[in-house]
Amino acid sequence: MEAIRAYLQNRVANFSVMDIVEFVLIGLVIYVVYRFLRGTRGARVFRGFIFLLISAFILVQLVAGILKMQRVEIIYNVLIQFAVMAAVIIFQPELRRALIQLGQNPLFRIFLRKQGIAFIDILARAIEQLSRDKIGAIIAIERDAGLTSLVESGTPLNAELTPELLVTIFWPGSPLHDMGVVIRQNRIVAAGCEFPLTLNPPLGSKYGARHRAALGLSEDSDAVIIVVSEETGDVSIAVQGRLIEDLSIARFRRVLTQMLVREQSDAGIAGAFGLTAGPTPGDKSIEEKEE
């Protein structure tokens, strides 16, 4: 008991203002997390988790400080790291809910919207030039479903997205102009990628290989695929097995904003790249035209 008393007196004597600040911050974090979990199944687990951590911390500090068992403290630190990883697994549903709520924060939604609008502006400028000059192009924007196999079929670039680079890739005579480009997280990850062709029989003969490839990929994934016709310069977007055609640049911006900005900001972090959207009113799809 005398050793414990001496150890505690020494700890109190060396107690500083920063120690108090640290304890207050730790307590505040624990309180915020518990308040978030209150009323859920994770609250009871969290209480037990914190109780075990605090008890183990006090015990280890006493044992390591009084009996000079440094190895015990080392083992404790290692176990803490495993405990943190276990907590991530145990509280996965709660963490997902927290991320969704963070994504619904107005400030974060404004950030996502600004980022998405800047991305669409770059694409629109490139598409406008490609359409004006009647340069054929096909561009896939990756969302939830990965396009790794597609990327591996092309030439890796991992380049910053710019209008000039997109136009250069599809310029007639360029080694990569006949195939497609894949965009992932606002970067051109690969060019010269071979897209799968649709097997949809009703597709009219007026649609070329790029339109068939765009529809084929949209049937196999949730990607948004942009097509510029080499013959007419018409701009189309393929998504979820449907083709939105005859888009002006203004309407092109509106459709992409609906798909890549509004739904993204509504979904938050957990759905930041898991977007789904159909044609907007006023746009014509293949099914509507054929009727």
Q: Are 166 and 265 in a shared domain?
A: yes
The DSSP symbol for 262 reads I
- Burial (Cβ within 10 Å: 0-12, 13-18, ≥19) of residue 216: buried
> Tokens standing for 239?
């998504």
Say which range, 131-135, 176-180, 217-221, 283-287, has the weakest mean pLDDT. Answer: 283-287
In angstroms, the CA 266 to CA 277 distance is: 12
Q: Which of 61, 90, 119 is the last residue of a domain?
A: 90
In angstroms, the CA 277 to CA 63 distance is: 60
Domain of residue 135, CATH code: 3.40.1700.10
Contact status, residue 268 vs residue 108, Cβ threshold 8 Å? yes
Q: Is the pLDDT confidence value at 273 over 50? A: no
Q: What is the share, in percent, of the chain residues with pLDDT greater than 90?
A: 32
Sheet holding 155-160, edge to edge: 155-160, 187-193, 180-184, 137-141, 224-228, 235-239, 242-244
Q: What is the pLDDT of residue 102?
A: 56
Q: Are 59 and 171 in a shared domain?
A: no
Across the chain, mean pLDDT equals 77
> Could you tell me which residue, 70 or 56, shows the higher pLDDT?
56
> Tokens standing for 87?
């907590």
12-55 pLDDT per residue, tens: 666 678 878 887 888 888 888 777 666 566 677 777 878 887 88
pLDDT confidence bin for 148, thresholds 50/70/90 = confident
Please state the domain count of the chain: 2
Q: What is the pLDDT of residue 143?
A: 84
* SS3 of residue 290 by DSSP: helix
Q: Are 227 and 264 in a shared domain?
A: yes
> Could you tell me which residue, 64 or 248, shows the higher pLDDT?
248
Q: Are 116 and 42 in a shared domain?
A: no
State pTM to two decimals. Answer: 0.56
pLDDT confidence bin for 200, thresholds 50/70/90 = confident
Q: What is the pLDDT of residue 75?
A: 79
Residue 100 placed within a domain: no
Q: Are strands 180-184 and 187-193 parallel, antiparallel or unpaired?
A: antiparallel
CA distance to 6, 22, 51, 83, 211, per residue, from 19 (Å): 19, 5, 20, 24, 65
> Tokens standing for 263?
């739904």
The angle, 0 to 180 degrees and rounded to 10, between the axes of the packed helices 106-132 and 92-103 is 70
Q: Which of 55, 90, 125 is the last residue of a domain?
A: 90
153-173 pLDDT per residue, tens: 999 999 999 999 999 999 999
The average pLDDT across 172-179 equals 90
The DSSP symbol for 282 reads T
Q: Are 154 and 244 in a shared domain?
A: yes
Q: Is the pLDDT confidence value at 222 over 50? A: yes
Q: What is the pLDDT of residue 270?
A: 35
Q: Are strands 155-160 and 187-193 parallel, antiparallel or unpaired?
A: antiparallel
69-127 pLDDT per residue, tens: 777 777 777 887 887 787 777 777 666 666 655 555 554 455 556 677 888 999 999 99
Q: Is the pLDDT confidence value at 266 over 70? A: no
Q: Which of 39, 55, 90 is the last residue of a domain?
A: 90
Q: Are 153 and 274 in a shared domain?
A: yes
In angstroms, the CA 193 to CA 79 distance is: 47
Domain that holds residue 28: 2-90
Amino acid identity, residue 116?
Answer: G
